Amino acid sequence: MHARNTVWHTAESRRAALDLSQKVRVLCWVMTQPPHLESRTQHVRDTWGKRCNIILYMSSKESDFPTVGLNVSEGRSQLYWKTIRAFQHIHKHHLDDADWFLKADDDTFVVLENLRYGLSKHNTEEPLYFGRRFTPFVKQGYMSGGAGYVLSKEALRRFVKGFADGLCTHNTELEDTGLGQCMETMRVRTGDSRDVLRRQTFHPYPPYYYLPRQLPRPRPWYLLYEHYDPVEGPGCCSDLAISFHYIDAVGMHTLEYYTYHLRPYGYKYRFNPDNK
């Protein structure tokens, strides 16, 4: 009779995920506003927010949520100002507290473990940023704001320096295009965030936009900006997806349930990233 390790058989082992969280530290900042705290941001906090090494909720007003108060007003026209101020705040107060810096919306769902896994192969001292790559407006492309994007430490330094030196300015209201332009100006490269099977990890829309099978067709409107050739149906999305956007409160908890709780007992997953 060989000895049985009870922990081996019963417990869920999170060792690999824990190790990664120490090696690949992520500071998350969530773009939010006072009227959203109860309807949206609370659900971010209750689900994925706590998985960031550091989480900052950026708003126009400071509060006990807690939110960081940026020196801006609210509204769509202020989004790029908020982004600039948020990164300046992070650069000033938290540059050494993390390795990578993620921006997300208050209706973005993020799987931190998969973000860390994707980033683990990259060097944060290199000028790089990752997200869902869109094509127009910026030559090298830019990252969709809603799907979330993540800057290396060097990319953050260059973004802030760009504004300090006047090389980057507030030349648009669109935060993702604006940031993308500054990144290009400051020679920060757009990374490829797709998995080893070339499936997307960051998603600007909810899962039901991408997963249902479609007959071959011209790009629907929500795939028009795609830099890489879009795939519809099961090949749209990596098993180790990192984000989905336009997720409401019910959707947040549902994705939380699907990702971290509901599972098929004993099932051997088809996709094993480390074996490919």
Partner 1 sequence: MMSEGSSFMKGLILGGIFCLVMSYFETFNPGVHSESHQHLHHHLKPLSKDELQKLSESQMSELTQQVRVYCLIMVTPKLLVHWVTVNDTWSKHCDKSVFYTSESSKAVEGFDLQEQDEWARLRKAIKHAYENAGDLRWFFVARPTTFAIIENLKYLVLDKDSSQPFYIGHTEKSGELDYVEYDSGIVLSYEAVRRLIEMFKDEDKCPERGRALWKMPEEKQLATCLKYSGVFAENGEDAQGKGLFNKKSTSSLISDSMGQNPADVVEACCSDMAITFGGMSPSQMQVLMFGVYRLRPYGHDFHDSLTFLPPKDSDND
Judged by CB under 8 A, which of 76, 92, 121, 213 binds partner 1? 213
User: Does residue 104 contact residue 28 with C-beta atoms inside 8 Å?
Assistant: yes
- Give, as ranges, the residues between 102 and 161 that touch partner 1 (CB under 8 A): 111-114, 116-117
Q: Which residues pair with 28 in a beta bridge?
A: 55, 102
Provide the minimum distance between the beta carbon of 133 and partner 1 in the complex, in angstroms, as a whole number.
21
Sign of CA dihedral 115, 117, 120, 126: negative
Q: Which of 270, 253, 271 is nearest to 262 (CA)?
A: 253
Assigned token pair, 268: 């051997």
Confirm or reject binding of residue 20 to partner 1 (CB under 8 A): yes
The 152-181 site mask, x for binding partner 1 (CB under 8 A), equals ------------------------------
Beta carbon nearer to partner 1, 222 or 258: 258
Sign of CA dihedral 141, 77, 42, 99: positive
Confirm or reject binding of residue 240 to partner 1 (CB under 8 A): yes
Sign of CA dihedral 40, 42, 46, 51: positive
Beta carbon nearer to partner 1, 90 or 147: 147
Confirm or reject binding of residue 212 to partner 1 (CB under 8 A): yes
Confirm or reject binding of residue 230 to partner 1 (CB under 8 A): no
Helix (H, G, I), strand (E, B) or coil at 53: coil
Assigned token pair, 206: 């909810």
Confirm or reject binding of residue 262 to partner 1 (CB under 8 A): yes
Question: Which of these segments, 55-63, 171-179, 215-223, 243-251, binds partner 1 (CB under 8 A)?
Answer: 243-251
Assigned token pair, 10: 């019963």
Residues that bind partner 1 (CB under 8 A): 4, 6, 8-20, 46, 111-114, 116-117, 207-208, 211-213, 233-235, 237, 239-241, 249-251, 253-271, 273
